[in-house]
């Protein structure tokens, strides 16, 4: 028996959420809805008395100043349609959890030992002349995600106005009947092996299944298993554990494969892209830096660690959470951000989190074609992802300081959600270096934070596949930032008191990965899954092992400190449970109720996966060169370009992220006279009484992949570096992070062009090597997500190969940093770097529905020299503003510089250093890399010119006191004369919703 | 020898501005600054009575899941201190009765309002008479705003201030009084210590200068003694010139404008008036 409490706004109080929903209904569906009101519903189980229900409703569940409530009767009766949306069974209900805790506290004395559960739902009361079909469309197209939520629709005729809706409890109907299934792989043929992989969503290939088959037939293995009561059969726990550990997501099998790369003339065998190009480049850079090497821990931990100063280290990681965000944008993105938070938090001895970054790739929110099955509208993905990252970041108290949104309709099948987090840790703590991990046999294995449920089962294997018909619902989790915040608050205290020896996070693969990876530090482990706290009954042992339920860390704790550790957890209201101990047995040993359910050699678990052998073939594409004349109406052309989704202002999203909590923000994402100009990079001060800072920036250029991923990658690296340099970073103090999001590059019936896609991956890696070594910016960590395809029925959508390159670095004195907005009239405008006729893949060509072939190519030698000189000029205080030229080219950078400063600008194109076909539009819109727009005070000119001597720089005009943006064309005539306010308006409008 | 100023910054269960609030207390010259986790109070390891200046920082108590600071307020009202029969709230009332200072910023302000500490009309600190609810925009926003201090206000924290510039970072900051009578009292007693205003200092009802639609542009209120003060904008986010969003283009003093609030508190505790 359950009761319902409904809470809504009093008459005359504005229902801001209802109004927002009304706007969205009007924007998304153009339906004539007059009014939307919202009612919060709490369904409470536990047999509370009427008085207790009233006490709860009047107490924590409602605000007496603005809200009314009812108990077991409908609150609002004025509607044409009522939609109630609640969670499906087992879906994380954060508000329900908080309500339960509040009610338990409220009724502590009077409720006795009874168990209370609270489930939340929300009513939307619609007024307006719309049909049931319209209402159903609003419900499933906007208000409820049917994958995780259920909804009901009522018209007044079907509604019981006396009792309202009956209380519905979304119980997980699970019984505790733990069972371990066993399979004898010995007699299976190839087809049968593959069928197991498919049926169980293991995402393993034949070779891998065969490796398992072989392992379980070895005599020594069979004998050892016999001793602990296991047969030669593989248990489902072992099978699932191996599938997680060997998943593409966890093992990066494509990056570690042996690749035969063929181009028109040559053939090259690459033994692991990762080792050859990524690890290889970092090793070379570190060697070249010698004593100036700042890397402390690269590629071995959850995140990379570099030195900040003698007393502190910086930790950085960027992850993606694409597949879950396609199914549930809000939950997927929320989990993405709180998930990546745990990476730096679980690196070394653990780091305090100091900022988040996020980069999203979506299809156009204004997409109008018919959507393929199981695909949510891009606008919904946009809003959901934005909100998920908002809640994840803001509620965790971590500022979101840098990011961008990239649009391309090929992200319709899978949006990309890159989330990054940096941490800050003392270099030494309790007498020990903090950047390494150490575990002793005998240390207790403790899991802390949230409980385990069916959420996120098969997340790692799921993300190793394309989105298909059978993609599991359980792969989606919803993060709970507050449970995580409480856990991180507790663990930082425990860390500082030296209460644990090592820490890691539970992400993909759950305990299977976290315990499995930690066990490599000492050589084995032994855990009993029956000890793990569960959200609800009915989980099988294998599910407990691989569940990706969120907000959990795994720790190694000295047995002498277990008591203290658990006591501190209890005091700080965090759950912590001993699951077993680390050993040196060489075995990954898992029990359930003291009975062995998995017994695998550590070596086989971690190194037993066979190396893939793949072929790559590079054939440069030949795109059509466009043929269009120079624009006649320049004002229109500029405004069209400013309104391009990849160029226009992202302010409405940026504002909804707290970008200054922790009070160290120096260069914010929005700058300029009206606080709305687009920053190139972020700078923060992690120590409030010091002027040392951290700079973070990124580059991403997926459009260039249509021509050559080598140059796409080079441009992304250059963009990240030059964004950082633009605010004052020192090239020699930057570290990088690579995040590959690719479409499936393995040739198969589904992917006939796999060899080309793999060649694209090879070329991208080659560029990583060439450009990170040229710049001396080492990769310190990274990640790849290789199956960003959608494939249902005959529709296949593959994303363009997308590399996000992020950089982080130290800034010696933040007071030297500069922003991109023009500062004063009469300041001189410079362009740094030569412009070339490189419009291939540009926004200008895209506006003309063309790709072209002249992709921007980075001249690292020239760029490096210029970046060093510019850093010197900025350090000397000579630069008033500096803005990087990227999407949309020189003229977009000039316009942004002008209107962010609220000032006009006069520029003459004949002074722009340029090589190529003489066209005004080419000079203005070419996206040649390694260029900046800089303004300086006239008095700084001599010094600036001297420092920059030897670089392709040129004074091209001046900042004007009037509000006009004017450009003189190659023919010497004024071709552009526009009000900056009009330009700014065009730039601000598209995504201002 | 002047009186020692002992500041406590209360954290836990979702607060997140404790570090900068403690730093603000330090820059303002407090003698003792302890960041104390709520559990330390509940376990009796630390006592409110040992401090003279309570800071309630911003954040998301319990995720603001039941409305901003609602579950947090519930905890203050019903959680008992280990080994005592006292609830935490009783200690808070004693703290107020002793004439000590409380500053609530953002979520801390929401907590004070929902507990009834502010405006605490007629010294009744247990009845909620105003609230902070969803912004008219229906969204969380991070935005810098101008605030005009009410020179007639008894607020000890805003003494001597005129127009200041701080960021707001909230989704539920719209100030709403329970009735016209409550609003009248707040106005008559000058309990509105800060109003959102335009750059010239005129109270603003228009978005975005008034970022949330607050009634009478009220951004912060105090109680009748002026010793309890809460505001939505974050003074602790502006401690240094480089925090200002336009520091690269404007002439600003090295010290951020947020410190003044904390310095006023520290000076008041050192003064004879305390």
Residue contact B20–A663, C-beta within 8 A: yes
A898/A987 Cα distance (integer angstroms): 13
What residues form DSSP beta bridges with B195?
B148, B218
Is B155 a catalytic site residue? no
For chain B, what are the domain ranges?
6-270
B29/A77 Cα distance (integer angstroms): 57
Catalytic residue of the set B25, B106, B155, B222: B106
Q: How far is A387 from chain B (nearest CA, A)?
A: 10
Which tokens go with A221? 């293995």
Is B25 a catalytic site residue? no
Q: How far is B244 from chain A (nearest CA, A)?
A: 8
Residue contact A671–B248, C-beta within 8 A: yes
A542/B189 Cα distance (integer angstroms): 65
A657/A186 Cα distance (integer angstroms): 55
Please report residues of A whose CB lies closer than 8 A to that of B17. 397, 661-663
Nearest to A675 among B11, B70, B245 (CB): B245
A573 phi, psi to nearest 5 deg: 60, 45
The predicted pLDDT at position A201 comes to: 81
- The Cα-based distances of A575 to A40, A339, A449, A592 in angstroms read 29, 18, 5, 20
Q: Which residue has the tokens 């020594």?
A: A220
The predicted pLDDT at position A492 comes to: 97
Which residue numbers in chain A have pLDDT < 70?
A: 109-113, 174, 458-476
Nearest to A661 among B16, B128, B131 (CB): B16
Does A901 contact chain B (CB < 8 Å)? yes
The predicted pLDDT at position A473 comes to: 55
pLDDT by residue for chain B (274 residues), tens only, comes to 578 999 999 999 999 999 999 999 999 999 999 999 999 999 999 999 999 999 999 999 999 999 999 999 999 999 998 877 788 999 999 999 999 999 999 999 999 999 999 999 999 999 999 999 999 999 999 999 999 999 999 999 999 999 999 999 999 999 999 999 999 999 999 999 999 999 899 999 999 999 999 999 999 999 999 999 999 999 999 999 999 999 999 999 999 999 999 999 999 999 988 8
Nearest to A485 among B14, B20, B133 (CB): B14
DSSP for residue A64: T
Does A440 contact chain B (CB < 8 Å)? no
The predicted pLDDT at position A961 comes to: 95
Does A567 contact chain B (CB < 8 Å)? no
Looking at every residue in chain A, the average pLDDT score rounds to 94
What CATH number does the domain located at B6-270 have?
3.40.50.880
Does B130 contact chain A (CB < 8 Å)? yes
Nearest CA in chain A to B169: A658
The predicted pLDDT at position A455 comes to: 75
Nearest CA in chain B to A95: B65
- Comparing CA positions, the residue from A919, A902, A878 lying closest to residue A964 is A902
Does A310 contact chain B (CB < 8 Å)? no
Q: How far is B32 from chain A (nearest CA, A)?
A: 17
DSSP H or E run through A479: none
What residues form DSSP beta bridges with A432?
A429
Which tokens go with A238? 């072992």
Nearest CA in chain B to A817: B248
**Contact by Cβ (8 Å): A658, B169:** yes
**Contact by Cβ (8 Å): A744, A798:** yes
**Among the residues of A532-610, which ranges form H helices?**
541-546, 562-571, 602-607
Please report residues of A whose CB lies closer than 8 A to that of B237. 660-661, 663, 665
Does B245 contact chain A (CB < 8 Å)? yes
Nearest CA in chain B to A480: B63
CA dihedral A336, A340, A345, A348 (to 10 degrees): 150
Does A167 contact chain B (CB < 8 Å)? no
DSSP for residue A213: H
The predicted pLDDT at position A409 comes to: 96
Q: What is the DSSP string of chain B?
A: -PPP-EEEEEE-TTB--HHHHHHHHHHTT-SEEEEEEHHHHHTTSS-GGG-SEEEE--B-GGGGBTBTTHHHHHHHHHPBPTTSS-BHHHHHHHHHHTT-EEEEETHHHHHHHHHT-SS-GGG--SS--EEEE--TTSS-EEEEEEEEE-TT---SSSTT--EEEEEEEES--EEEESSHHHHHHHHHTT-EEEEEE-TTS-B--STTTSSS--GGGEEEEE-TTS-EEEESS-GGG-SBGGGSTTTTTS---SB-TTHHHHHHHHHHHHSTT-
Residue contact A688–B63, C-beta within 8 A: no
Does A395 contact chain B (CB < 8 Å)? yes
Looking at every residue in chain B, the average pLDDT score rounds to 96
Question: Cis omega (within 30 of 0) on the bond before B235?
Answer: no
Please report residues of A whose CB lies closer than 8 A to that of B11. 489
Tell me, letter by letter, the H, E, C secondary structure of A438-453: CCCCCCEEEEEECCEC
Does B122 contact chain A (CB < 8 Å)? no
Nearest to A60 among B11, B70, B135 (CB): B70
A519/A245 Cα distance (integer angstroms): 13
* 3-state SS class at A541: helix
Q: Which residue has the tokens 């550790």?
A: A565
Out of 3.40.640.10, 1.20.1250.20, 3.30.1330.10, 1.20.140.10, which CATH number does the structure's domain A272-425+610-619+646-815 have?
A: 3.30.1330.10
Does B88 contact chain A (CB < 8 Å)? no
**Contact by Cβ (8 Å): A536, A92:** no
For CATH 3.30.1280.10, the residue range(s) in chain A are: 2-158
Q: What is the DSSP string of A579-591?
A: EEEE-SSSEEEEE
Chain B interface test: which of A493, A688, A874, A901 (most B C-beta within 10 Å): A688
List, as ranges, residues 51-70 from A with C-beta within 8 Å of B. 59-66
The predicted pLDDT at position A475 comes to: 57
- The Cα-based distances of B239 to A506, B58, B139, B211 in angstroms read 37, 16, 26, 22
List, as ranges, residues 582-601 from A with C-beta within 8 Å of B. none
Nearest to A105 among B19, B43, B74 (CB): B74
What CATH number does the domain located at A818-993 have?
3.90.650.10
Chain B interface test: which of A397, A492, A681 (most B C-beta within 10 Å): A397
A788 phi, psi to nearest 5 deg: -90, 65
B218/A625 Cα distance (integer angstroms): 60
DSSP H or E run through A292: none
A740/A858 Cα distance (integer angstroms): 20
Q: How far is B100 from chain A (nearest CA, A)?
A: 26
**Contact by Cβ (8 Å): A217, A186:** yes
The predicted pLDDT at position A474 comes to: 61
Please report residues of A whose CB lies closer than 8 A to that of B43. 571
Is B234 a catalytic site residue? yes
Please report residues of A whose CB lies closer than 8 A to that of B79. 105
Please report residues of B whose CB lies closer than 8 A to that of A489. 11-12, 37
What lies within 8 Å, CB to CB, of A370 at 6+ separation is none
A51/A48 Cα distance (integer angstroms): 8
Tell how strand A613-617 and strand A258-262 pair up: parallel
Does B58 contact chain A (CB < 8 Å)? yes
DSSP for residue A801: P
* 3-state SS class at A400: strand
For CATH 3.30.1330.10, the residue range(s) in chain A are: 272-425+610-619+646-815
A321/A829 Cα distance (integer angstroms): 41
Q: How far is A675 from chain B (nearest CA, A)?
A: 7
A970/A939 Cα distance (integer angstroms): 28
Fold for domain A2-158? Mth169; Chain: A , (3.30.1280)
List, as ranges, residues 182-221 from B with C-beta within 8 Å of A. 213
Please report residues of B whose CB lies closer than 8 A to that of A390. 140
- Comparing CA positions, the residue from B260, B261, B242 lying closest to residue B101 is B261
B106/B74 Cα distance (integer angstroms): 17
């Amino acid at each position: 028996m359950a009761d319902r409490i409904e809470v809504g706004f009093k008459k005359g109080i504005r229902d801001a959420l209802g109004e927002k929903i009304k706007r969205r209904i009007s924007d998304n569906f153009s339906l004539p809805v007059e009014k939307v009101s919202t009612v919060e519903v709490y369904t409470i189980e536990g047999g509370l008395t009427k008085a207790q229900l009233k006490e709860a409703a009047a107490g924590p569940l409602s605000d007496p100043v603005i809200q009314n409530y009812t108990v077991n009767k409908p609150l609002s009766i004025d509607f044409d349609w009522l939609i109630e949306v609640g969670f499906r069974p087992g879906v994380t209900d954060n508000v329900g959890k908080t309500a339960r805790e509040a009610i338990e506290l409220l009724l502590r004395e009077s409720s006795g030992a009874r168990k209370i559960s609270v489930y939340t739902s929300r009513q939307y009361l619609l007024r307006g002349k719309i049909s049931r079909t319209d209402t159903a469309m609003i419900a499933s197209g906007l208000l409820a995600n049917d994958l995780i939520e259920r909804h009901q629709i009522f018209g007044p005729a079907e509604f019981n106005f006396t009792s309202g809706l009956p209380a519905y409890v979304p119980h997980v109907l699970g019984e505790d009947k733990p069972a371990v299934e066993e399979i004898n792989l010995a007699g299976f043929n190839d087809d049968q092996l593959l069928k197991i992989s498919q049926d169980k969503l293991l995402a393993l290939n034949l070779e891998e299944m065969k490796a398992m088959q072989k392992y379980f037939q070895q005599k020594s293995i069979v004998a050892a298993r016999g001793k602990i009561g296991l047969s030669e059969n593989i248990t489902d726990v072992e099978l699932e554990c191996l599938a997680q550990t060997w998943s593409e997501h966890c093992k990066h099998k494509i990056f570690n494969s042996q690749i035969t790369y063929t181009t028109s003339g040559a053939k090259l065998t690459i033994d692991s892209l990762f080792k050859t190009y990524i690890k290889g480049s970092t090793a070379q850079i570190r060697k070249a830096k010698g004593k100036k090497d700042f890397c402390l821990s690269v590629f071995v931990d959850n995140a990379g660690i570099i030195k900040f100063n003698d007393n502190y280290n910086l930790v950085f990681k960027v992850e993606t959470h694409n597949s879950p965000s396609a199914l549930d944008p809000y939950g997927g993105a929320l989990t993405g951000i709180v998930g990546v938070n745990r990476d730096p938090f679980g690196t070394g001895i653990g780091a305090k989190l100091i900022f988040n970054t996020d980069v999203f790739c979506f299809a156009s929110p204004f997409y109008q074609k018919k959507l393929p099955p199981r695909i949510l509208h891009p606008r919904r993905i946009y809003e959901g992802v934005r909100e998920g990252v908002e809640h994840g970041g803001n509620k965790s108290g971590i500022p979101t300081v840098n990011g961008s949104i990239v649009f391309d309709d090929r992200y319709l099948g899978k949006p990309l959600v890159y989330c990054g987090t940096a941490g800050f840790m003392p270099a030494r703590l309790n007498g020990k270096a903090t950047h390494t991990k150490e575990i002793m046999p005998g240390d207790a294995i403790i899991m802390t934070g949230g409980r385990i449920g069916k959420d996120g089962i098969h997340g790692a294997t799921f993300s190793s596949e394309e989105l298909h018909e059978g993609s599991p619902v359980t792969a989606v989790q919803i993060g709970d930032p507050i449970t995580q915040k409480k856990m991180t608050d507790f663990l930082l205290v425990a860390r500082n008191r030296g209460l644990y020896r090592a820490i890691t996070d539970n992400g993909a693969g759950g305990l299977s990965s976290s315990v499995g990876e930690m066990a490599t530090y000492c050589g084995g482990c032994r855990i009993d899954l029956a000890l793990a706290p569960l959200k609800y009954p009915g989980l099988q042992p294998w599910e407990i092992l691989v569940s990706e339920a969120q907000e959990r860390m795994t720790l190694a704790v000295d047995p002498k400190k277990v008591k203290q550790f658990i006591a501190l957890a209890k005091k700080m209201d965090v759950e912590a449970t001993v699951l077993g101990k680390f050993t040196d047995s060489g075995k990954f040993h898992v029990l359930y109720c003291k009975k062995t359910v998995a017994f695998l050699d550590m070596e086989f678990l971690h190194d037993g996966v066979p190396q893939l052998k793949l072929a790559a073939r590079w054939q440069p594409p030949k795109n059509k060169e466009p043929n269009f004349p120079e624009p006649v109406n320049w004002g229109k052309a500029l405004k069209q370009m400013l309104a391009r989704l990849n160029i226009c202002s992202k302010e409405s999203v940026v504002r909804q992220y707290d970008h200054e909590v922790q009070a160290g923000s120096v260069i914010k994402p929005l700058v300029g006279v009206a606080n709305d100009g687009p920053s190139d990079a972020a700078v923060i001060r992690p120590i409030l009484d010091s002027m040392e800072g951290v700079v973070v920036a990124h580059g991403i250029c997926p459009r260039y992949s249509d021509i050559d991923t080598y140059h796409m990658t080079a441009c992304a690296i250059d963009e990240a570096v030059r964004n950082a340099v633009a605010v004052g970073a020192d090239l020699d103090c930057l570290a990088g992070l690579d995040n590959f999001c690719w479409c499936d590059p393995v040739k198969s019936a589904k992917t006939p062009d796999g060899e080309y896609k793999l060649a694209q991956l090879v070329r991208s890696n080659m560029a990583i090597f060439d450009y990170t070594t040229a710049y001396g910016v080492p990769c310190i960590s990274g990640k790849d997500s290789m199956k960003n395809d959608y494939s249902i029925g005959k529709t296949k959508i593959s994303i363009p190969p997308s590399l996000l390159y992020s950089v982080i670095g130290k800034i010696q004195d933040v007071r030297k940093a500069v922003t991109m907005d023009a500062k004063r009239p009469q300041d001189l405008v410079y362009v740094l770097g030569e412009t070339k006729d490189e419009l291939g893949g540009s926004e200008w060509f895209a506006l003309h529905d063309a790709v072209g072939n002249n992709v921007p190519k980075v001249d690292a030698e020239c760029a490096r020299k210029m970046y060093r000189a510019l850093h010197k000029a900025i350090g000397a205080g000579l630069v008033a503003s500096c803005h990087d030229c990227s999407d949309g080219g020189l003229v977009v950078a000039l316009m942004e510089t002008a209107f962010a400063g609220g000032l006009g600008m006069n520029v003459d194109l004949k002074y722009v250093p340029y090589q190529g076909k003489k066209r005004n539009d080419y000079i203005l819109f070419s996206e040649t890399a390694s260029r900046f727009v800089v303004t300086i005070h006239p008095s700084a000119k001599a010094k600036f010119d001297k420092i920059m001597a030897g670089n392709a720089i040129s004074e091209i005009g001046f900042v004007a006191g009037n509000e006009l943006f004017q450009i003189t064309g190659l023919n010497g005539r004024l071709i552009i004369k526009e009000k900056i306010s009009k330009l700014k308006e065009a730039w601000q409008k598209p995504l201002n919703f | 020898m002047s009186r020692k100023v002992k500041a406590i910054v209360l954290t836990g269960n979702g607060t997140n501005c404790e570090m900068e609030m403690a730093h603000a207390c330090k820059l303002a010259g407090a003698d003792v600054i302890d960041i104390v986790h709520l559990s330390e109070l509940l376990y009796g390891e630390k006592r409110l009575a040992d401090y003279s200046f309570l800071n309630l920082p911003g954040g998301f108590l319990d995720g603001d899941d039941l409305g901003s600071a609602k579950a947090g307020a519930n905890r203050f009202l019903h959680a008992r201190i280990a080994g005592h029969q006292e609830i935490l709230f009783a200690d808070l009332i004693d703290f107020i009765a002793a004439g000590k200072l409380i500053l609530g910023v953002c979520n801390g302000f929401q907590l004070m309002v929902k507990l009834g500490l502010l405006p605490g009309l007629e010294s009744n600190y247990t009845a909620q008479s105003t609230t902070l609810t969803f912004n008219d925009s229906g969204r969380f926003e991070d935005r810098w705003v101008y605030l005009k201090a009410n020179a007639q206000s008894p607020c000890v924290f805003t003494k001597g201030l005129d127009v200041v510039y701080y960021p707001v970072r909230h989704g539920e900051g719209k100030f709403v009084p329970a009735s016209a009578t409550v609003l009248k009292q707040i106005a008559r007693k000058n309990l509105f210590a800060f109003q959102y205003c335009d750059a010239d200092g005129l109270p603003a009802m228009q978005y975005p200068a008034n970022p949330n639609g607050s009634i009478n542009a009220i951004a912060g209120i105090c109680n009748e003694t002026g010793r309890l003060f809460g505001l939505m904008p974050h003074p602790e986010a502006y401690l240094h010139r480089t925090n200002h969003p336009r520091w690269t283009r404007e002439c600003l003093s090295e010290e951020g404008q947020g410190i003044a609030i904390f310095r006023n508190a520290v000076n008041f505790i050192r003064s004879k008036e305390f």
